[in-house]
Each structure stands twice: as C-alpha cells, then as structure tokens.
Amino acid sequence: MSQEGLLRPGIIQLRVLDMEEAITHYVERIGLDLVSKEADGRVYLKAYDEFHHHSVVLREADRAGIDYFAFKADCQASVDAFRKRIEAWGLAVDDVPAGEQPATGARIGFTIPSGHRIELFAEMALSENGPETHNPFVWKTEPRGMRAQRLDHCLLYGPNIDKVEEFFTRVLDFHLPERVDLPDGTLAIWMTVSNKAHDIAFVKHPEPGKLHHVAFFLENWNDIGHAADLMSRYDISRDVGPTRHGITRGQTIYFFDPSGNRNEVFCGGYTAYKDHPTRVWDGNHVGRGIFYYERQLNDAFLTVVT
C-alpha cells in the first residue's frame, strides 16, 4: 500500500457528566451503534459504516472534555518505530496493555505540548456488525438519527501550536493542508495523515488539553439538514450552522452533547494529497475561512471549549 505508518483516527475517549443522557445522544441522535458497556462503566460505540470494533469511548466523570485521541497504524512495527522517533523528539511514552479496551491491542500514549494525550495502536478486531464486504448493500440496517458514517476528526485547543505542528509533521508524518497565520503567530492548523482535508486540528489557546469539537462524517448536505431537523425536534443545543467552512470546504453544523462537549456533523471537504501546497488564511479573511456564508466569526465558537 502507498499509505504507510499511521492510517487514520481510530479512537476518541470522551468524558461525559451523565452516561444515560450521553448514550441517548450519541446512539439515538447521532446514530452510532452501542457496542458494549464494560465493567468499569465505560461505553463503546461505533458508526454503522466503520469496520472495526469501536471508535468512540464514553467515560462518566465529574468534568467534560477529552481523555485522548488515538490514531491507528498499519502494523505494530510502525508503532514501535514511531515510539523511537517520539522519544527522540523528547516526549515521554507510556504503554497501555492489550485488553485495556475490548478487542483492542496494545497502545502507546504521550502528552503533546498542547497538553493533549495522543495514542497510537495497530491492532483492533473487526466488528461483527461492520459494513458488508461481499456483494454489499450500502447498509445492512437503515442508519438511525443523523446517520453518522464515521468518526472523522477532532479540533483541540491548547498552547504551543508551533511545537504541535512540528511534532505532527516531522515525527508522525502528517501534512498540513491549511493554516491561519496572524501577525503575532499561528492561530490554527489543520493536519492530516491521510488524504482527508483534516484528521486533527489545533487552535492556539492558553489553557492546555481542551476539546473544541469531535466531528462525525455524514453522506451529504441533505443529511446536514436532517441533522438540524433532529436538533430542533429533540431540543439539542445548537451552536452554529448549517453552513460551510472556507477552510476544508466542509458543509457543517455544530451542536453540543448533553455534557457540553461540542459535536460537529459534516460532509464534503476537499481531498488533500501530500504534494499539495498549504492554503494560508490571514486575520482579515479568517471569518470567511471558518464560516463561508456568514463571513464572520462568533465569540462563542471561538472561546467555548470543554
């Protein structure tokens, strides 16, 4: 294969204040499938179009936010090689043994200069409830709620964005389709390890380790409208949209889960190859970059994080 090393986002573990409310939101509204509830209280979810065992882990806690974001590698040798490069760059790496989560192999973890925990792993069993692979239908059972197809990316807020960019591009082999540069430095970066427009993004922020949003992929713009219909019907706290981003060109709507973690469902977005140049936005045009139709930023979108 031509894509080696890291392949894609694999797991996000989110903290929620009330597990039952969270399950209703992520399963009935966003449309993820409930894979299992384990003895330690964590709940495992996957989208209907994902092949592997799970992609979203919910953990009940007394504060909202993100525990970690994990990328899946093509093989254990790649994870071992990344470990050496990460340690050489100066980060401490710890081990999470196989079986810490169901159907999941050993993981390595480390804290990047923005204060977020990132993990890498190679092994996860295929789901018994994944998409068909032999003369497949587009789905086996009609999707629920917003019909999310996959965990897509997250946007994280924290300090030291320049160091984060260096780490992801030089150590983890990401490339950088888009960025926002202000006179006093880089405000935001969108990075990908595949050819999606983004697998992970960061915005400069004084408080480390914060979650701006986790995003799920929908099939098309009509599904964004359907998601908005569900938000009004079920009184989901809507943030912004439906609208489009200039950055990534994705079509989108933002809302909050019952613990205040921001969610996005989006579709579209361009294809990003490693030999493409980075698109750069400056402070005079960043409003159009973030919200292409409104052409201006809103305060809550910029500052509200968990």
Partner 1 sequence: MPQSLSEGGFRVTIKGAEAPVICRAEQKLLFAIEEQVPFPHPRPVRVGCRKGGCGACRIKVTSGDYVTAKMSRDHVTEAEERQGFALACRLTPQSDLEIETAFLGPRRGHEGQND
CA distances from 238 to 12, 139, 223, 233 (A): 22, 28, 16, 12
Residue in 67, 152, 199, 257 binding partner 1, rule: CB under 8 A: 257
Give yes or no for residue 295 binding partner 1 (CB under 8 A). Answer: no
Catalytic residue, candidates 53, 153, 205, 212: 153
Active site residue 48: no
Task: List b or e across 209-227, with b for residues whose CB sees 16 or more CB atoms inside 10 angstroms.
Answer: bbbbbbbbbbeeeebbebb
Q: Closest approach of Cβ 69 to partner 1, in Å?
A: 18
Q: Closest approach of Cβ 124 to partner 1, in Å?
A: 28
Give yes or no for residue 287 binding partner 1 (CB under 8 A). Answer: no
User: How far, in whole angstroms, is CA 35 from its chain's centroid?
Assistant: 19
Which residue's entry shows tokens 């986002």? 9
Residue in 1, 2, 62, 275 binding partner 1, rule: CB under 8 A: 62
Active site residue 245: yes
Active site residue 25: no
250: buried, middle or exposed (CB in 10 Å: 19+, 13-18, 0-12)? buried
Active site residue 198: yes
Contacting range for partner 1; rule: CB under 8 A; set: 40-48, 73-81, 167-175, 251-259: 251-259
Active site residue 28: no
Residue in 208, 219, 226, 302 binding partner 1, rule: CB under 8 A: 208
Residue in 115, 130, 131, 287 binding partner 1, rule: CB under 8 A: 115
Rounded CA separation 26/120 (Å): 24
Total of residues contacting partner 1 (CB under 8 A)? 30
Cβ-proximal residues to 146 (8 Å cutoff; 6+ apart), any chain: 29, 30, 31, 216, 218, 223, 226, 227, 230, 265
Contacting range for partner 1; rule: CB under 8 A; set: 46-54, 140-148, 165-173, 260-268: 260-268
Active site residue 254: yes
Residue in 18, 94, 95, 132 binding partner 1, rule: CB under 8 A: 18
Rounded CA separation 189/112 (Å): 15
Per-position x/- string for 64-103, each x denoting binding to partner 1 as judged by CB under 8 A, each - no binding: xx--------------------------------------
Question: Which one, 164 or 290, has the nearer CB to partner 1?
Answer: 164
Which residue's entry shows tokens 């990401």? 174
191 contacts 165 by C-beta, under 8 angstroms: yes
Residues 127-186 interacting with partner 1 (rule: CB under 8 A): 159-160
What are the two backbone dihedrals, phi and then psi, of residue 39, each rounded to the nearest 5 degrees? -60, -30
Helix (H, G, I), strand (E, B) or coil at 291: coil
Q: Which residues bind partner 1 (CB under 8 A)?
A: 17-18, 62-65, 113, 115, 159-160, 204-208, 210, 237, 239, 256-262, 300, 303-306
List residues with catalytic annotation. Answer: 153, 198, 213, 245, 254, 264
